[in-house]
Amino acid sequence: MSDKRGSRMYLDTSEVSQEADKKKEKKKRPEPEKITPFKKIGYEDMTKMEDMDLDGVLANLKERYENELIYTYTSSILVAINPFKRLPIYSRGWVKHYKGKRLGLLSPHIFAVAEQTYNQMCETGQNQSVLVSGESGAGKTESTKLILQFLAARTDRESNVENMVLESIPVLEAFGNAKTGRNDNSSRFGKFIEIQFDTDRYICGSKITQYLLEKSRIITQAKGERNYHIFYQLTEGAEQSMKDTLLLKGAKDYNYTGKTGCIKIKSMDEPEELQMLIKAMKLFDIGEVMQMTVFKIVAACIHLGQASFKADGEVSIHANDSSKKAQENACSLLEFDNEGIFYALTHKKIKMRTEIINTPLTPQQAKDQTDAMVKYLYSTMFEWLVNKLNQCTYADISESFIGVLDIFGFELFEHNSFEQFLINYANEKLQNFFNHHIFKLEQVEYEREGIDWTAIDFVDNQPCLDLIESRRPPGIIAILDEETKFPRATDETFIAKLHSNFEKKHDYYEKPRLARDKFIVKHYAGAVEYETPGWRDKNKDQLPENLVEMVRKSANKFIAILYAPGGTEMTGEEEDAPAVEEEDDSGKGSKLTLGGQFKNSLTTLMDMLMTTTPYFIRCVKPNMDKVPEKFDSELIYNQLLYAGMLETIRIRRMGYPIRYIHEDFWKRYRVICPEVDLTKGDYAKSCTALLKALGLNSPGDFQLGKTKVFLKQNIANDLEDKRNLALTDIILKMQTWWRMMGLRVRFVEKQQGSRQIQTWWRFANKRGKFVTQRKKALLIQRWWRMLGARKELLAMIEKKRKEEEERKRKEEEARKKRIKEKGEAAVLEEEAKAAEEKAAADAEEIAKFKALAEGDFGESKEEAPADGEEAAPKPEKKKKKKKERHQSIMMKKGEALEIPINVDGRITLGLGWKGGQWDMDASCLAFRFKQHRDDVYYYKPRSKDGAVIHRGGYAGLIRVPNVADQDAEQIDLNLQKISPKTNTLIFVVTVFSPEGNFSSVEDAYCRIIDSSTQLEYCRYTLDKGGDETARIMCKLFRYGFSKWRLQAIGEPSEGRLYKHMIPRVEPFLDIKPKKRKFRVRVHRGKLTDIKRMYKGSKTTSLNTFCEIRFDIDKAKTKVVKRSLNPQWRSTKEVTGHGHILEVNVMHRIRFGKEIFLGRCLIPLEGDNVQIKDQWFRLEQRDKSKARNQTAVTGDVKLTIQELLI
């Protein structure tokens, strides 16, 4: 659990953080890690011990510690002893080992507590909290990190959210942890980390609340201690170029880092720690410029520590040249006015009624003012850093959270000041919460429920808390606040008032015999002597006004805004934030003191913890030497004693920590004995019967209260196991039945399919035979008809031959007769003349055929032009225009274009670029006006309504089929399926690598593609890349309800996470209009140009109705059947936020299906809209996209009246 890295427990987060940084590669699944269960040594749960005393508890813990078993239960409370060495029990295999197991089923482990909180959150829906307590060096911080590691790895999801939750810890440790006498990595501030979960129980964000950074450590440290780690990372771990930029030398050369004699920590590699810090800061969108500014603030604090002063008459001046040079270096780094800062450090500004007087300070006062300025610079920067981490990880919408409280342990040093007082006050508060939850509430509930119970005495620290925080009579903090605000008060008057109020009057207050400026408070963990000098100044917690004004005049804009009122809330380099100041209880507007702020923070924390289900982890420090395998019995005995461990074991052993109301108990455990029936709605009697059936005895196993059933822990565990077995049996039966039904359905489907195939096969077989036979019959018939026709042909040929012979015979007889009558010469002459006439007729016929072949159809021919005249030009023939193929529309920046959508509303948005040096990612943010509703990105690839799907990957890895261009990212959109409340989609592209920006990206573009045809509709190209890390590409917004428009944006932005874009796209979102209400009367319509998009339909009769849409409200008129001039005559009212009313004419067909015919959009500009009996033209759907649909044109007559809300 720990490495010999001081008291830092070893945390192996490489399996979680490094996997998120690696690129995904196809690899074989690794073999599961083999886990060796813990040995059964001693009592794993100390409530089962026979020796109920601290000696028995100590012996049990020692036996387990010597066998490297550092965890032990006290019912649900975990005792963790720091082993000061690495233990191999925190890998991913151990996470899987404890995943899904109830608390107590396996050996004690911190993962078991984390799993219990997760399971309870999932089961009950309530927020959970884990309170990690113990003294400094007991391992609280590392236990907190182990819980975060388990929760991040338990969900089996790799995303940047889980990685950022883990990476926030190194950043906080660098700026908020330091080496103390008890701990090499002591948290010098308290923190409460909320791990937020969404509805799917995945981590969706986190929030860190910090309490009381120890500012005095920046100025001075005890011997053997160090300043905050970041001071040594910059002076000892930075490269020489960075040190030259920061004007730094080695740590030993500076007062703030070299006076205690402790520079190095053996287990810390400062250069490596610095590189890890820089990498983590980049992950949180803290770029190189902002990182260097933060480092300059730290370096300036180091330089100001070298300042020293001496008297020169009435004023103070620098004691030497090195002091003057140190101030010049600090002012140069922070871009301050050097002379102005020096004057503000050495003078005090006093406001009189009519004038302002500047009085010089003594050298010591000037030094104190310089130290106060350093504390102000560093603490403000630390507060901004925590807010920056929260800004990157906080989820605006979450279902529940698991909180982990890691607050400073109880401290008792040789010199205890105001910081130790507040730290011990916080521990008193936590101990009181523990007592209240474990002892007070427990026994009060037993009395209220009438349980047979013997009260257990415990040490109640409420009187000590009253001594510290009471207002009436005033406690220590109230007296300190009063003295802080009183102008003439001093430290002496403060200690005198404490003695007069509490000496010999309060059992937990004591006055030392010799010391005059000290007092003693008897805390639950022991008496602590506090030194009061400087308490009033520390409690004021503010810098002189003249010095603050000089800091805010820095030429560095980031620093000027950071130290302005409310500047710690800003999230970027050039953002401004409103001034926010806390007020004290009097309500007069005065600033709260540090003690008052801390008291209010603790009260808020306790109130929040009371709303959660708490779990406790008691961290124990085994020895003061911070070495492994050393068990200091006396040290551990004292820790167990003041923690009330013996009383805790007794109440957990004798009490009934598990309880259910009667109805819940019956419903939860009746599954074990289903034969027990409910007794007429009386759950108390039913519970009695069920407990009897379960074989439980009272009061040994349970007790039945007035409204609840109280169970022993072991009995509750046994019942849970039996319930899980019963549920498992039921689930197995259901799964068996479900598998049978699935197989049965598939069998029936296959059976029906096979029968259908058999039917078709028999049909096809018989039809094939029929077709073959028919072909043969047809062939025979053709041959038979051919033979019959041939006989007829031969008969006709023979008949014609005979007729020809008869004709020739008759002609020959006639010729011979003419020769006898006229002579042979006259007959020959007649035959020659007849042959010439026949030849002439044949020639004329041939000429006609030739003219027809040349195109002469007998029209009149044009006359030839006269000499000198040009021939008239022949008219050119009109060529048919070829239909051009669909072409893409090129858009310009800021241009808006209507998007035609096909029937199913599916389009694809493609995003691409050249130059894949860095990983790129696309995000889709969904809004309703300016309200963020949903987002779609690489790790969350689908919107809640399923209408937006991110199916792209890393840049250049996806090539879209049948498209010439190569899109790096694609987002599929179904605009008809998208949630009605979503009216705007913003598309963003980010450079997802910390080192990258758009300077390496060229030809970035976005385009709209028809999902069905893969044709590009429109495209626009962005300007060449710059230094930004994100581009707001385009905006897709509703125009009316069923129409969408695309607007090209192409604006640069900053940030690598989709969450960063939510506030930055706000200028491109529409302001939510005021709520309006309209009464719409649809009179009648005239439908013309009826066309069916599919063939074979002859009817034009339509069953029509009108659908009225305004924002997300809609109403429908009655259906008018079989009419092209429908008389709807319906009046409807619609309400919403918008300025366009949409009326759609629909056609209802069989089975309740509806077909879109046309629409009209009516702008509603101005107030009190009144439109009476006006005709509006219908706009058709895009016919080329409307497959198998009806399209119409026509008009609709409407009356629109705006109503008062």
- The catalytic site residues sit at 136-137, 141, 183, 186-187, 409, 411
If you ran DSSP here, which 8-state letter would residue 600 be given? H
896 contact partners, CB below 8 Å, separation of at least 6: 1045, 1046, 1047, 1048
Integer-rounded Cα radius of gyration of the chain: 46
Are the CB atoms for 496 and 483 separated by under 8 Å? no
Q: For tokens 């602590």, name the residue.
A: 528
- φ and ψ at residue 1100, rounded to 5 degrees: -120, 10
- Taking the CB of residue 144, how many other CB atoms lie within 10 A of it? 25
The pairing of strands 203-211 and 190-197 is: antiparallel
> Token pair of 941, please?
């690839």
What does the CA dihedral 250, 256, 258, 261 come to, rounded to 10 degrees? -150
The pairing of strands 1016-1021 and 1030-1039 is: unpaired
d(CA 388, CA 754) in angstroms, rounded, equals 66
Strands, sheet with 969-974, edge to edge from the N-terminal-most edge strand = 889-890, 1016-1021, 1002-1010, 906-914, 969-974, 948-950
- State CA 728 to chain mean position distance: 34
> Token pair of 1176, please?
């509006």
Helix (H, G, I), strand (E, B) or coil at 727: helix
d(CA 619, CA 397) in angstroms, rounded, equals 33
The H or E element that residue 415 is part of is: none
Distances (CA, A) of 834 to 812, 827, 1043: 17, 11, 87
Helix (H, G, I), strand (E, B) or coil at 318: strand
Are the CB atoms for 71 and 108 separated by under 8 Å? yes
How many alpha carbons fall within 13 Å on the CB side of residue 157? 15
Task: Find the angle CA(554)-CA(559)-CA(565) to the nearest 5 degrees.
Answer: 100
Distances (CA, A) of 770 to 749, 757, 758, 773, 815: 31, 19, 18, 5, 66
Of residues 190, 89, 172, 98, the one with CA closest to residue 136: 190
What does the CA dihedral 595, 600, 602, 607 come to, rounded to 10 degrees? 170
1150 contact partners, CB below 8 Å, separation of at least 6: none
Are the CB atoms for 641 and 666 separated by under 8 Å? no
How many alpha carbons fall within 13 Å on the CB side of residue 576? 7
